[in-house]
Structure 1
Amino acid sequence: MGVLATAAVKLGETLVKLACEAATGSKAAGEVAGGLTAVLGGHGVGKLDQRRARRQLETVADTVAGRVMTRYGAEFRGLDEESRAVVVEAVAEAFQALPPLTELVLAASCRPERLAARVRQLTGDLLRGRYFGRAETDLYELLLDTACAEVTQICQGLHGLANLAVPEVLRQLSGLAEEVRAAPVRALAAATEAGEARFARTYREFVADELAEADLDCDRLTRTSRRYPLAAAYLARSVHWQGSPVAVTALLSHSRLLLTGPCGAGKTTLLRWLFTGIARRGLAGFEHLVPFYLPLHHYTDRTPRLDDLITALGQDIAAEMPSGWVQRQLREGDSLVLLNGLDEVPSAHRRVVLDWIEKLCAKFSRATVVLASRPDPTLPGWAAGAGFTVAELAPMNPAEAHQFIQRWHAAVLVRLVDPAERAWVVKCERRLLDALAGCHALRVLAANPLTCALMCALHRDRLVRLPDSWVDLLRMITEILVDERDRVRGIVDELPAPREERLRVLADLAYWMSSQDITRAKPAELLDRVAHASGTQLASTDPARLVRGLAERTGLVRLDAEGGLTFPSPVLRDYLVSREVVAGNYVRALARAAHRLDLHQLVLMVAAQLTGDRAAELVATLSREAAENSACSARQLLVNACEYRPGPELSEDALAQLAIEHPAVLVDALAREPLERAVEVARLASAIQHWEALPLLARLARDGGPEVAEALRPDSRWFDPVDLRFFLPGLREDAVADKVPGGGAGD
């Protein structure tokens, strides 16, 4: 018999012996049933019946020992057999050191948890003298709970035994043996549940902080800009389900949820927030759930296993996990499984992972499973077949973007102590919000949580100065998306091309589609163009594979179900076009087409990348064409923007046309106007029927005086009431215009 088995037998015999002595009031050294044998012998009971009674009690002791071996012989795998045996012996010795058990059990009202508390109180010095480590202490506590449940049950089964006739004694002992053998009964089940509840608490405490940081996964950032407290930065947002915005927590009533969204939409952040809030029991209505988080990109060459739900974040406590604990949590339905990054699994292995998810859901139908992924043309069909509800994370609205920037800077401040650094962060927030008022590209980037956070971080780390270096910001964000984030996160790179080659292919595609006025590239034309753009370095690469890789990993392009390609971000698309214009020397052709105000941002991006004679030539060409075409006086806005000068005086008709057709152009021009013209700017900005005017209106309301406030009369019909109240909280009801000044669509 091994040392652990010997210790388990000793514990079982000790518990039965003490219970027997408590039931009979007779204490006898040696055998398990010594007390009962003495009582029966005193009543003249024959040796045969005494042996029958003794065997019944020995069976009870053996059953208890067997249960200890079954339950704790395989758990706490970090402890060897001898260490576990020492713990079992320690529990037996603790019971041997107790005063008469009858008094303790009665004082505890036959409740195991009360008895366990009293035993701990009486034997605390013995435990401290053992100098157990954490694992040994946890095992001791679990065994003590189990032992108290066992001995309480046995005492109840033996109650009044000394006053019964021999047949009744044997019958009662037989019933007790069967009851103990058939367990765990109520008391033992309570001890088992207490042990599992204790591990659940340990698990929650251990993993609660594992996902409590937001991480931008960008090596070029400082530590405090890259990682910051999620709780301080998180902005609660709605998801779109069946065409309507709903809180994501409302969708957790659906036991199967597929959460989609483009690159940077906030899927990982949302899952981290859910996990951390539930682990800390801080998410109202979901305190009972046990959360599990599995980053799927770790499983590039094998299928995930159930144990991975623990080891993904709790590797150091996995050895303490009760056998089958994960399965029981999933089976009982008090669990939330968060599976992140299906799109990060290599495409050849993705079907295997989806099959595993389906089997997981089928086997544990009561568990709630949330799967997050970038859009994939095949996913809606799979989700319908697998019973998943589909919801999408939409871009942030203007008010959300503004709040996001405020919360990001507040989160960075949490860990800063140096007064100068704190003052710089406060200044950065103010400067960035002001920059949004006068730069269309920044306003668009702010709608995406990832690009908004990168904008905040790069600006705070002085890597870009906004708004002046906004094109440098676009370059950095594009490079980060193309390959930097995946490399930092350890995601398998399936693309054969280095960064510059990927950027060249993307820029060629963007320029081709823009020059041909194509918003969606058809599959056949797309693949021909990619094959043409790939050059010698990628000549052997399958164009379809390259396009799929760029779509799945960069987020700069998107494929639909038919294989057509689009650029989801117009600003980043235009930046890629501008790279190709500069590299291919298409500047003159662009300047000649600059009468199209939809090319306004593109021209500015090209101008920012030119230096010396090429920059001067572009401005001269634009100025010459503006002078030759006085009817298109708005073109002078573009010339001034290239030279960072205020905009020119425009007629009321030209302003009204700009406000309707190209609001971003007019907003950026008005934002460059000097403070002396604030009243007129406020009047003109109020006429713009577009959300892009809101940051400028907010800046005017903050910095202007009473006259400016009086001139702010936006038409409420063109704005979301929530956005309007957020940006202009002090706006009086009677200050809202009934129609757009200067005419336009509001008439």
Structure 2
Amino acid sequence: MEAMSVGARLASSVVGPLVKKLFRTDGPGAGLVDRPVRVSSLVSFRGETRTLTDVELRKIAEELVERAALSTGVSERLPSFEKRAVVNAVTHSLCFMEHIDMDDVQAVQLGHLELSRSLRSSNPAATIGLSSDAVLLHAQVVDTACLHILHFFTTRSTFVPRTLVEQSRRIEELSSKIDTLIMRTPSPADGGFEARYASYISTKHGKLTIFGLDLATASAAWPLDAAYLSLEATGTAAGGKMPLTMPAEHVLAGRARVLLRGVAGSGKTTLVQWLAVSAARSDVDEHLLYLHGLVPFVLPMRSLTRAGARLPAPDEFLSAVGCPIAHAQPTGWYDRVLTAGRGLMLIDGIDEMPEGEREEARNWLRDLVGSYPRNHWLVTSRPSAVQENWLAGEKFTELDLAPVSRDDVAAFIKRWHKAAGSADAYGKELLYAVRAKQELDRLATNPLMCALICALHRDRRGYLPDGRKELYDAALSMLLSRRDRERGIYKTGDMRIGETHQVQLIQKLAYWLIRNGRSEMDAKDVVDLLSQALTSMPRVAEQGTAKQIYHHLLVRSGLLIEPVEGTLQFIHRTFQDYLGARAAVESLDFDFLGGNAHLDQWEDVVRMAVAHARPAERTRLLTGLIERGDSSKDTRYRLHLLAAACLDDATELDPEVRTEVQRRAERLIPPRSVDQARALADVGPVVLELLPGPEGLTSDEAYFTVLAAVRIGTDAAIPVLTRFRAAEEKRVRAELALAWARFDTDRYAEEVIADLNEDDCLYFVVSSSRELRTLRRFGGRSYLRITSPLGVEEMRSHCVPDRLVGLCIAADMRCSWDWLDEFPRLVELTLETPLPEVDVSSLKDVPSLRILRVPSTVRTVGDDVLPPTLKIIRTG
């Protein structure tokens, strides 16, 4: 058998049988043991009845070291004397088990890595003078041995106390988790490479480029831990009848396959980075334990399909994304990882592929999932890029990234100003402006727009334009000229290209990308395109060659980046679409724009083209969309809704054209699916006055109408939502209760929450202390779902004792639950925790409680002391 094959099988076929020789075999009557056993009494190489001699113990160590050395590739690099020294060190480490002052249960609870560290530290002199390869080999052998030692303990009949039911169940769960750890532990053949790869992932994806933080003395790279804003993902619960919400970073907890939709700038790529870095870390947060041991593969579709390249096979994943250590991956490594179900497949940006190539991408995904079904899969896309149920055949759950709540916007503004080193006054002033001005409030719906607003507010010393086009114009001005001029970067002899000329050059690059359906282009194509443009721009051409001007734009514009050497892309797709639309209008390509308007990649381009166009040109564009939609049954819905969405950007338009656009939109209302609700929300506030109901609507139409109004998100939607307060359909009212955090707390409470029908055990969602206090003003509610970590005193003070019947805690409160005895009518408690275990023993002091719901993946500690009247129900 070749070395790599041995390495792949070392953990299961070699270590397990060898470990068993280190311990005594259970004799007759072992099953009657009802207490833990000392580790020192289990070993087979001590005492008068020892069954393993010192020579045999050393032979076990020799075999482990030799196999590990072969499988890790260090065998040829280690001289024989160092191998002997490693064997000595491993032998001494294993011998120390006879001196361990703990029992087998304590050892299992300690964990294999801590046990390994304890054994290795027992003889620190054993590795003195050894090379780094030898020290690493010693650690890997002992780590792997300890994992199997603990697994051996959990499978012994004496380990399970037959008379202790609760302890038996806990031991069974521990055994299952150790089995999972064994499955997720790389073989020694792969451990060294995976450590390097994890370091690469943490470095590559551990920082974010936040718009505006490259100004003044602030760094453009923001540490991911400081920058990450926990967003929410929404969908429908099993059966598709009730709205569902969860932290976005938990979308793969309990779900193996997810298709996540989100608008441009909503944080999809940031979430991908967060998951990748969290999986790569050895100290995974206990809320993200489901990521432990997984190997992240970050696969941005724009990079995979660069220059029309075919989609890669698994062995090409690393090289396809430019990973510099791709060449070092052990032979067959990817297959071992994916076959074992250890892959975290993060496929980002299906929408960044040309629409005609997405079917090929779906087939590629189907083949991958079919070949390696046991892995975790996350696929991201803009909402309109793929149809509903696009991957339903592969059992993907479809979720949406929700717009940021008002509290999230406030948190982002505070973090941005702290990172930028700005005075608190700027942040407070901006926060007030966003809440006071409806137009700004509507724009601040995702991290990109929040960062854009923060940067412009500081750069313009408090002045902010109102509309989206004006915001982008101001951002371009700030990036292309003002920041360098105000920072005093220019020196005598420097290349100076004015803002107008920079825009002309960069928008040609943007339009080329759009016309070719790409998000990246080769540097050679950039230079060729600039060379053509410079023939008509002599004042710029005389300052340098096309290559020099390209370098100047890359370094100074703030709009362009090179993700890998020799490849260009825009800092964000939104700027590409904005400048590409400007180029299309200047080229009078209105028929070309209209001819591509049915393609999702052109939607934002068309909307921005309407904003750039003059009144007569807007008329031409919108009339074309209407007429083309009228004549095409397949694209009618998309084109007519796109025309309606453009009204928000049409500052001046022929009234007759506006009327015709609105008339077409009315025919598409009410929405009858999630996709239609999303599309209507994209139209903006103008659609609110067209939304009907609840009279005359089916239950589905009522739900999707509410969903559309909620997603629009401005306070202008509140009067529409108010009409549905008494709806009979529970999921409609559940969506209204869930949406509170997206609107002004007091106004929404008074107009919607106060009179929301509570029938059918409707849970009211509370995401802040202010909302909880507001509910108390209205007499409290019978069913509450708490989604933020409120303090126990707040809960006791603001929940109404004689009103509360059902309580759901969907946040990490980490408290004892005995305080719930102050609520005499409380009969149901639901704990939606991402933690692996929760102590419920204190619930014995809550006599009214009859039902406790916990996720099936969470271990309950102390449920053996709960009264028989309390029933535990496992969910999910």
- TM-score normalised by length of structure 1: 0.50
Larger Rg: 1 or 2?
1
Higher helix proportion = 1
- TM-score normalised by length of structure 2: 0.43
